Structure formats: C-alpha cells, structure tokens
Structure 1
Amino acid sequence: MRVPSPSLAETVENVAPPRMNRRQAAKVRTRLKVLDAARALFAERGYDAATIRDIAKGAGMSTGAVFANFQDKAELFETVFSEEMEGLLNDMRTGAAGVEGRVTDRLTAALTAGYHRSLGHLPLMQAMIARSWFQPEDADQRSRAFVGPLVLWIQDLLQAAVGEGELRQDIDQTLLPRMIWDTFISNFRYAAYDGWGVEELTPHVRQQLDLILSSQMARQ
C-alpha cells in the first residue's frame, strides 16, 4: 500500500528550527534586555522623558549596544508599541472568552480587560496615543498595522452577532469596529486627568457601546 507523501505544511511543521550559535543567542538576549528596559522606562516616564542613555543603563549595557540593535529611540518605541498591541489583543480575547449574552456584554468584558492591562502603565499608553499624532507618515502606517488585528477582532465579534441574529445584516462592518476602538482609546483621557479606574471606565464604556449599537440591533 502506497503511503501518501506529507503535505508541504506538514513537512515545514516537522522541521526543527535551526539552533543559534553563541553569538546569535547573545544578540537575542541583548535585544530582549533592551526591550524590557525600554518598556519599563516608557511606562514610567512616557516617550519624551525616556532617553537612550537611561534605557541602556536600565538594561545594564552601553548605548552602543542599544544602537547595535535599534536605529534610534523611535524604532525602539515602535517595537514596544507593536508588542503591547499584541498583548492587548490577547488580554481582550481572554476577557471576552466564555462571556455569554449580548454582544455588548462580550465587548464590555474585552475592553475592561484592556483597561486592566493598560492602566498599570498609563504613561506608556499616553505616549502611544501622543506619538500617533506626531510621527512621519510611514511610521503612522506601521502603527495602524499594529492596531489592525484588534480592530479586525472587534469586527469578528460584530460579525458573529450578525450571524446570531442579534445585529442587523446591513451594519457597517468597517466603521463600527473602528468607532468602538476609538471609543476605547478616548477613555484613557479620563484615567489620565480625572483619576478614573476600571470601576469608572467599565460602566462608562458599557453605556457608550449601548449607544453605538442600539440602532444596529436586529428587530425581534
């Protein structure tokens, strides 16, 4: 009996990743140390007050070692931003997982999980929001690409609600997810300037979601 040949995907999956030599491993460790130090400093001071010199000091290495891995502070911050968006998406998914009920319940749980994550390092989120207004066009496009998966995930939640008959079939599946994301981001202003915590943000964002989606509900 002829045994079928493995598919390309199976072949790639079974190939062990190449082992790094000592130099490569050391470079990876250095890069991770720099990123950890930069993330901590950006979270403590924001973007402008964090310097390459202080980041290098926090990582326990020279500024030359930092520049060997990152072109400048902007690239370093962009990398931190990318990783933070990945973590935020994972936390939102976890927050919504297992939540039953209306789509507003799932979205509220997801956005609340996002606030739980981000309020612990509010200066970092403030820096990300501020930088989005003052960066070159190519950097802005990359930032939008980092945020894109979160908006698409919100879109998936809305599409699921359409499929379940909760939302109308003709909802704007491009505009609504973006509106919800923009609402989530705008509320950090209350945390920064009015001292709001999760206890205040959760009911507030729930009211906002109710208003945004009220006209999109399917008629029963």
Structure 2
Amino acid sequence: MRETTLSAHEAAEAEGQPRLNRRQAAKIRTRQKVLDAARALFAERGYDAATIRDIAKGAGMSTGAVFANFQDKAELFECVFAEEMGGLLQDIQTAAGHEGRVAERLAEGLTAGYHRSLEHLPLMQAMIARSWFQPEAADERSRTFVKPIIEAIIAVLQAGIREGELRQDLDQLVMGRMIWDVFVANFRYAAYDHWGIEELTPHIRKQLDLILSSQLARQ
C-alpha cells in the first residue's frame, strides 16, 4: 500500500519553503493526480499499452490537462520511475536497517523490494525494458534515481567492513552495483517463470552468500 502523500502546503512547509497560493497548490494536486493515474495504468498494462488518453480518463481530466503538466508519455513514465525508486529505497533501507550479518541485512532489504514490486510487475518490467531503449540524457536521469539505492546497499557493506566481517579492500562501488544488478535480473524469473516471493527470497539469499563469500574477512 502506498504511503499517504502530504498536501501541497504541508510538503512546502516540511521543506522550509513558503506556503503555496491556491493556484500553485491546485497545479501540484492536478499533477499528482495525473501521476497516480499513470502509475496505476503502467502497473496494469506496462508502458507501450498505456495511452495518454487512458491516463487522462483515469485521472478524470482531458488529454489537454495532461499535456499542460507533462510533455509526453515518456516524461510521465520518468516521473513515475522516480517515485517508484524513492519508495523502493525506503522499503530497502527500513528492512535492512538493523544490526546483523551483511548478507542477512541485504537479503531482508532486497526481499522487501520484491514484496513491493511484485504487486505491480508490469511496471517493473516496463522500467527494466525502457532502461535499454531510451536517449542518453534520459538514461543519465534514470541512473540518478537508482543511485541512492546503490548507496544504501553500499552503506550496509561499509557497516560490514567496520565490524570486521568484510575485507577492508572490498571494492564497494563495484559490489554495490553488482548486487543491484542481480536484484533487477531476478525479475525475469518472476515475469517468465512465475516466481513469487517464496521462490525469490531463498534465491537472492543464495546469490548474496555466493557474491559475498570471497569478500569475507575471515575465511
């Protein structure tokens, strides 16, 4: 279930910004309404089958109102992607935010990510597919949305280094990216082999054990 979003006024105040006037607040609400409708449709149909017309219908407004807030479907999808990566980051950090072995913490964090994303697998499939077929500028923006998740993974690795579980010379960036890539690659099993959380959980745990086994400080 998605978290309740703050009102436009509350969001502005939380960030230390001045209160918005009615017109500004209405524009933000309209934009979020379009985003919510787009997210639901992308999650149901994927990217290609979702149309601006259907997104506008889902938001209860005209296509003109959609285009007044977003340039095209690609920009809409990018905004949905950014929101999804933000939610995924929160889930992973919360589940991995305890003391314990690195592999266990990462497994719990990534499993929480699977719990979130399996609820709308077509959306994740669309995100993965479009990551291969988008302009370079769009790819760079997408990487900025993923970067905090990789940094969260690296933070767990750093804790393992400090506690003497992992080697001091571990290449943190390479390892963090590798773990993220493995996490994403497993969605193929969910999409084509119909794996659920029961299959993905032990699979990612075995993968993490194998990935980290050569980096243990005591062998």
TM-score by length of 1: 0.91
Q: Which residue of 2 aligns with 1:106?
A: 105
Q: Which residue of 1 aligns with 2:169?
A: 170
Cα displacement (A) at 1:101: 2.6
- 2: CA distance, partners of 1:15 / 1:90: 18
Cα displacement (A) at 1:97: 2.5
Structure 2 counterpart of 1:59, one-letter code: A
Structure 2 counterpart of 1:128, one-letter code: M
Cα displacement (A) at 1:25: 1.5
- 1: CA distance, partners of 2:51 / 2:14: 43
Distance 1:16 1:208, change over 3 A: closer
Runs (4+) off by over 6 Å? none
Distance 1:97 1:130, change over 3 A: same
Structure 1 counterpart of 2:208, one-letter code: L
Q: Which residue of 2 aligns with 1:203?
A: 202
Structure 1 residue ranges without an equivalent (≥5): 1-12
The Cα offsets for residues 91-112 of structure 1, whole Å up to 9 and x where unpaired, read as: 01111123x4310000000000
TM-score by length of 2: 0.91
Q: Which residue of 2 aligns with 1:9?
A: none
Q: Which residue of 2 aligns with 1:119?
A: 118
Q: Which residue of 2 aligns with 1:179?
A: 178
- 2: CA distance, partners of 1:201 / 1:76: 30
Distance 1:152 1:31, change over 3 A: same
Cα displacement (A) at 1:17: 3.3
The Cα offsets for residues 151-186 of structure 1, whole Å up to 9 and x where unpaired, read as: 011111101100000000011111100000000000
Cα displacement (A) at 1:14: 10
Structure 2 counterpart of 1:56, one-letter code: A
Q: What SS does structure 2 have at the residue aligned with 1:167? A: coil
Q: Does 1:83 align with 2:97?
A: no
Q: Which residue of 1 aligns with 2:141?
A: 142
Distance 1:58 1:161, change over 3 A: same
Q: What SS does structure 1 have at the residue aligned with 2:38? A: helix
Q: Which residue of 2 aligns with 1:28?
A: 28
Q: Which residue of 1 aligns with 2:69?
A: 69
Provide the aligned C-alpha RMSD in A: 1.5
- 2: CA distance, partners of 1:15 / 1:27: 18
Structure 2 residue ranges without an equivalent (≥5): 1-12
Q: What SS does structure 1 have at the residue aligned with 2:199? A: helix
- 2: CA distance, partners of 1:14 / 1:159: 31
Q: Which residue of 2 aligns with 1:3?
A: none
The Cα offsets for residues 37-88 of structure 1, whole Å up to 9 and x where unpaired, read as: 0000000000000000000000000001000100000000000000100000
**Percent pairwise identity:** 76
Structure 2 counterpart of 1:17, one-letter code: Q
Q: Which residue of 1 aligns with 2:18?
A: 18
Distance 1:16 1:175, change over 3 A: closer
Structure 1 counterpart of 2:70, one-letter code: F
- 2: CA distance, partners of 1:24 / 1:219: 58
Distance 1:186 1:20, change over 3 A: same
Structure 2 counterpart of 1:140, one-letter code: D
- 2: CA distance, partners of 1:19 / 1:117: 33
Cα displacement (A) at 1:35: 0.4
- 2: CA distance, partners of 1:206 / 1:22: 50
Q: What SS does structure 2 have at the residue aligned with 1:50? A: coil
Distance 1:105 1:141, change over 3 A: same
- 2: CA distance, partners of 1:32 / 1:67: 13
